[in-house]
Structure 1
């Protein structure tokens, strides 16, 4: 995780800032062509509709279409299937704020700790985006709250850096370690303080003292 820049609160980029390739672009930042319904009919030369663009289910996961996903899973789709970027169906669902979809995938065997090539997990994506409900689904399914990703970043560090107090509390309640440091030697408390989230920083200092 890069050292926080001073002079104002950090603006969330469209990709996780530690590598800029950890998570897919969130739906509200997609272009019209990227966010279009892949099941919309598109005439071909012979008058037939084209195959859906999301045959592997990732667009279904992003939209939260649980009925369509049930059908794909019944047809034998692997619940841990990843796209060409190494993003799992569960990662897409969680990062797109689709807790019901995440729950469905987990029920069918999706691994809540499956990381992408950068080492980032679905839980880290939720903490980056501030998605407490999806994060809770993942934690209840056994997501590792102390997993480390790119540059030693943890879910707690993402939540602290972006001022997500509810997520900080949720993670601490489920055993997140506030003493962990990233590759630059920074704790979550130090990152929160650097971003001006002093209340969160103090909460983390107290948790560190009691660790």
Structure 2
């Protein structure tokens, strides 16, 4: 009888342990789901706040609100947390403004009558071919730098793939920067080469 009683008691203990493990797992899973749900609410709130920022002077107020609303998620709250949040929000806004500016430039189409477009073309020529002066706006000289025809009103779609102005600006910038770096490095290398011999 005692063997049977021990067997039944061990089965009951095993069942209890199994129930305790299952309950612990269920609570863990519930806690994890609850935390992830709450975190997604927080990130959604931050996203909504960053979308609704319309003026720079309200960054501090909005960052304080985000920190106040979500303080129970952090065990330790530093005094500079709202300042950091303000910096982050201003950077997010800055990047969004930059993306909007780049997109607006990308959608701008080349126009022959626009003076700034023509100036950018001439600047591109001056950077790529500084030793040769351009004789006219519509010449075969443009073929030396890769254009197929004389007139840009015909080729701007084919050559720059609707990104003419943006790419011309970027190309001009990088060419000027890299030419300066190249000249500096070449003079540095020549100086070292001749100074050690």
- TM-score, length basis structure 1: 0.22
- TM-score, length basis structure 2: 0.24
**Larger Rg over CA atoms:** 2
